[in-house]
Amino acid sequence: MSKKKKEHHEEHVDETWLIPYADMLTLLLALFIVMFAMSKVDNKKLQKMSQEFSAIFSSGKGVLVESGTGNGVVSSMKESTPSNAQSESNNSKIEQDMMNEIKKNIDQKVAENGYTDKIKSKITEEGLAISIQDIILFRSGDSTVLANIQPMLIEISKMIHSLDNNIKVTGHTDNIPIATETFHSNWELSASRALNVMKFMVTSGGVDEKRFSIQAYGEYSPEETNSTEQGRARNRRVEIFILRKYSLTSNGNK
């Protein structure tokens, strides 16, 4: 009887579960410490660091720069290549300079051929706009490109031939209604005129047709008043736009 009692006192409760329990508590404590530390991070610095990491991983190039805080910790990163915003600005400036040069050359050719009061060019937010009055392009109520203006259109085509910018040709009329066998409205006349100018620049000027689009405004986009003959004459026009690929705001110059 006494022997059985002795054996009973020598038995111990299994305490091996304490080891994983202690490990779990340690991990939880570490997690709480990390979460607390993260709550104290400077959000602005964290955001900046995230952006810099994204730029580096996207470009595959970057260098670490020590901030000189004295603790040996790298606090910032700088790209070794220009940022996307800087590249966009550079491209916009190059494009703007190119359009300014083409405008200068067009104005020179226009003056040489005596079309100063009939052909105008200007730089806009949309791109380089070349406006040609209908009186030197077509006969009244017609859309066939006149022979006299064709050399000028070929000169313009040569100047923009090497560009890869898209080109938009728009047709405009005055507000006097038209109703002929060929054209039943100003809409149709303006559309046919824009289309024929585009076709000439493709077939005779050698400009890639894939770059073109046309729009017909009829009488609904006047440049001047239709209440005078001079105003109506200026409203009857075809405009050629060399469209920007890069936003003008990224360059900051006009």
**Which domains are assigned to the chain?**
2-78 (no CATH), 88-250 (3.30.1330.60)
Q: What pLDDT is recorded for position 153?
A: 98
Residue 243 contacts residue 197 (beta carbons within 8 Å): no
Per-residue confidence (pLDDT) for residue 86, from 0 to 100: 78
- pLDDT in the model for residue 16: 72
Residue 32 tokens read as 């709480």
Q: Are 161 and 105 in contact (CB under 8 A)?
A: no
pLDDT given at position 72: 42
φ, ψ for residue 13, nearest 5 deg: -75, 140
Nearest to residue 169, comparing CAs of 127, 136, 114? Answer: 127
Per-residue pLDDT of the chain (254 residues; tens, 9 = 90+): 555 555 555 555 666 767 777 777 787 777 777 676 666 555 655 565 555 545 544 544 444 444 444 444 444 444 445 567 778 889 999 999 999 999 999 999 999 999 999 999 999 999 999 999 999 999 999 999 999 999 999 999 999 988 899 999 999 999 999 989 999 999 999 999 999 999 999 999 999 999 999 999 999 999 999 999 999 999 999 999 999 999 876 554 54
Of residues 66, 56, 67, 62, the one with CA closest to residue 80: 62
User: Which residues does residue 242 pair with via DSSP β-bridges, in sequence order?
Assistant: 128, 167
